[in-house]
Structure 1
Amino acid sequence: MLENNKTIEINGEDALEVLAEIEFILISLHKMGSYYCDKPVNDYQKATTDFIDNEKVTQRLAKVRKIISTKFDSTLGEDDMDDIERHMEGIQFWKP
């Protein structure tokens, strides 16, 4: 990891924006789980899918990722990757 990336700074406004997005998604999903705990699974699955789509959860998460990732020095290493790419390299993504 680059020395510049060992400590990153985020201003308060950006940090609050990130926290608000995470809070909205996390608490909403928690409330949905609690509400649907004794209801048919299909209802919960539809509500969750509708929430993700209607509330643009993927776009919100992309915004959070952008706010945080822009704080990193993106200088490429000997492996032609920056620190973020290198750290994310091993993630196993969902596959159909």
Structure 2
Amino acid sequence: MGIQRMTTDSKYSRSTILEALRVINEFVVSIDQLDRIAYDHGKEAWEREVVRFLFSHEIDKKMAKVRQFLSEPFSTELGPDDMDELERELADVPYWTYAEFEHAQQGTAPEASKGASDL
């Protein structure tokens, strides 16, 4: 069987769109405001506060919920490449990798991330 694709445009309710925008704004505006810490208190204080913010505001859970309802219209059927529609479309997203951390610890530059397909 061929690759299944989303066949119709999806229409979200105003409340659903507002919910997604609230989460996105909470993240974007907060990260922007957190930049002031770097100038006033240094990089280490900024890094600690970013981590505290992400976990105390449960940004990961909120973003996962947004991703879940934005993903609903897409086919989850696996194609011949053993990927569903979204995996295929998002294969080039430059995700963080553990190798980036290791390189940062060693002071070396990692190769550019090629996306989800090389995970």
* TM score, norm. by length of structure 2: 0.68
Deviations 1:41-65 (A, max 9, x none): 1111110010011111111110110
Root mean square deviation of aligned Cα? 2.0
Q: Structure 2: any 5+ residue segments left out of the alignment?
A: 102-119
Q: Which has the higher contact order (CA 8 A, sep 6+)?
A: 1
> How far did residue 67 of structure 1 move?
1.4
Confirm whether residue 16 of structure 1 aligns to residue 12 of structure 2.
no
Task: Tell me: CA distance 1:3–1:67, structure 2 relative to 1, closer, same or farther (3 Å).
Answer: closer
Q: Structure 1: any 5+ residue segments left out of the alignment?
A: none
- Which residue in the other structure is 2:7 paired with? 4
Out of 34-43 and 46-55, give the one that drifted further: 34-43
- Preserved CA contact (<8 Å) 1:10 1:71: no
Task: Tell me: CA distance 1:86–1:37, structure 2 relative to 1, closer, same or farther (3 Å).
Answer: same
> How far did residue 80 of structure 1 move?
3.5
Which of 37, 40, 43 pairs up with 1:41? 43
Deviations 1:9-53 (A, max 9, x none): 222111110001001111111111134323211111110010011
> How far did residue 3 of structure 1 move?
5.2
* TM score, norm. by length of structure 1: 0.81
How many equivalent pairs are there? 95
| Counterpart AA for 1:2 | R
SS at match of 1:44: helix
> How far did residue 70 of structure 1 move?
1.1
**Bigger Rg, structure 1 or 2:** 2
- Preserved CA contact (<8 Å) 2:20 2:66: yes
Confirm whether residue 26 of structure 1 aligns to residue 22 of structure 2.
no
